[in-house]
Amino acid sequence: MPRPPKPRRCWGPPPHEVFKPAGIPMGRLQVVQLALDELEALRLCDLLGLDQETAGMRMGVSRGTVQR
């Protein structure tokens, strides 16, 4: 029997639905869909500069989960 999913703490929904480089039409880009918890891990590590351990503590998950 698999483990039940662990709830993750996220900051909230992103302010925009689409993130893309300026000046490039949408038709020329490959679509990549991110779950809310994946976007939160990116925000914590890349935007706020936290390490994976600290980001995991903020989200209520392990460092390995943030890394995945």
Tally of structural domains, the chain: 1
Q: Is the separation of the CB atoms in 59 and 40 below 8 Å?
A: yes
pLDDT at 8: 75
Which residues constitute the domain of residue 55? 32-67
Q: Work out the pLDDT band at 62, boundaries 50, 70, 90.
A: confident
Whether 38 maps to a domain, the answer reads yes
Whether 40 maps to a domain, the answer reads yes
The Cα 35–Cα 37 span in angstroms is 6
In angstroms, what CA-CA distances link 62 with 5, 37, 49? Answer: 13, 13, 17
pLDDT at 48: 93
Q: Compute the radius of gyration of the chain from its Cα atoms.
A: 14
Q: Is the separation of the CB atoms in 59 and 41 below 8 Å?
A: yes
Whether 39 maps to a domain, the answer reads yes
The Cα 65–Cα 18 span in angstroms is 25
pLDDT digits (tens, 9 = 90+) for 16-45: 778 888 999 989 999 988 888 898 899 999
